Amino acid sequence: MDKVDTERLTKMMRAVMLVPGPDGMANAEVRQVPKPLAAAGEALVRVHAAGLNRGELLQRRRMAPGAPQPNGGEFAGEVVALGEGATGTTVGQRVMGHWRGAQAEYISVDTRLLVPIPDRVDWVAAGGWLNVYATAHDALVSAGRLRAGEAVLVAGAGSGVGVAALQIARLLGATPILGTSRDAAKLAAVGRFGLTQGFVPGPGLAAELKAATGGRGVDVLVDLVGAPVFGAGLQAMAVRGRYVSVGRTGGTKAELDLELVASQRLEIIGTTFRTRSKLERIAVVQAAVRDLLPALADGRLDPAIAATFPMEDIERAHAAMAEDRHVGKLVLTIA
């Protein structure tokens, strides 16, 4: 290999890219792409693990024709270089982060989005921790304003964010902690994460949820499902309850009873990372780290890794996520 080719390879890396397909569904492919550089205020991180999230499947279905796009939103790795003026981390530090294009050998990211990995946490656990815990913390604490002793319902309790929400609710002293899933086996599996009582949605779901709270209703509902549980969830809310819409994998259209909202003085709060600025994302990450990192470090919070896949098996990993048989997080390993 001549000198030119050697120089070119040192500037390239492998990354998962979403490539628009002829049928409107993007393909996920590992490609050689230019290796990033650490800009001012950024760190260049050598990625060892990167979490998968259900939004990637939605992105593949919604992706417009055009150039391939980088994939992934959370990672764990080692800082290998710092840009001008970068602070808060050092070369060689083990870090996890929350930023776009994380499923790659390298990522360059604002150091304010980096979090030191506790000594007891390995690459895989760190690679699948930050996104779901920041999302669940934002829903329960920032949006839902959860207080100790309040009743929580997590709709979609077996998902990565669902498992994180159950554990955060337990950490903060919520009671009871309720959850729903279409799969009774998943409800049984998440009992160890703090679930008090689980429900497979059916015609009597609202009454069952009310009964589980002694008739008072749910104070904070974290909805990771959407339309299928919206009506029953609203009916099960306590006076001045906070309904936080995080995911809509089950559907986006539902009927709203405005009289119920008014009479119960409910709040319906939508949340997503897609429309947040970088500064808003930084605030979400820093709030979660402030409240949760000590509990991750001492083992009170479990990253709950369900399975790992080599980065080259991204299509198989996405297929496993679409099958939805796992409890917790799926993570890509990057050699």
Q: For residues 80 and 44, is the Cβ–Cβ distance under 8 A?
A: yes
Token pair recorded at residue 219 = 């104070």
Integer Cα distance of 181 and 51 in angstroms:
22
**Same-domain pairing of 140 and 266:** yes
Is position 285 within any domain?
Answer: no
pTM: 0.91
Taking only the tens place, the pLDDT of each residue in 90-129 is 999 999 999 999 999 999 999 999 999 999 999 999 999 9
Is position 243 within any domain?
Answer: yes
Instruction: Give residue 115's domain range.
Output: 3-129+303-333
Taking only the tens place, the pLDDT of each residue in 25-45 is 899 999 999 999 999 999 999
**Same-domain pairing of 91 and 177:** no
Token pair recorded at residue 48 = 């060892």
Taking only the tens place, the pLDDT of each residue in 177-222 is 999 999 999 999 999 999 999 999 999 999 999 999 999 999 999 9
Last residue of a domain, one of 270, 290, 311: 270
pLDDT at position 4 is: 36
pLDDT at position 151 is: 98
**Same-domain pairing of 141 and 165:** yes
Q: How many domains does the chain have?
A: 2
**Same-domain pairing of 121 and 144:** no
Task: Outline where DSSP puts E strands in 158-203.
Answer: 177-180, 197-199
CATH code at 15?
Answer: 3.90.180.10
pLDDT at position 10 is: 66
- Cα–chain-centroid distance for residue 77? 18
**Same-domain pairing of 169 and 266:** yes
pLDDT at position 2 is: 36
* 3-state DSSP assignment of residue 25: coil
**Tokens 């709060």 correspond to what residue?**
269
Pick the closest to residue 152 from 133, 134, 167, 138 (CA basis).
167
**301 pLDDT exceeds 90?**
yes
Integer Cα distance of 197 and 179 in angstroms:
7
Token pair recorded at residue 206 = 């609202």
Confidence of residue 59 (pLDDT cuts 50, 70, 90): confident
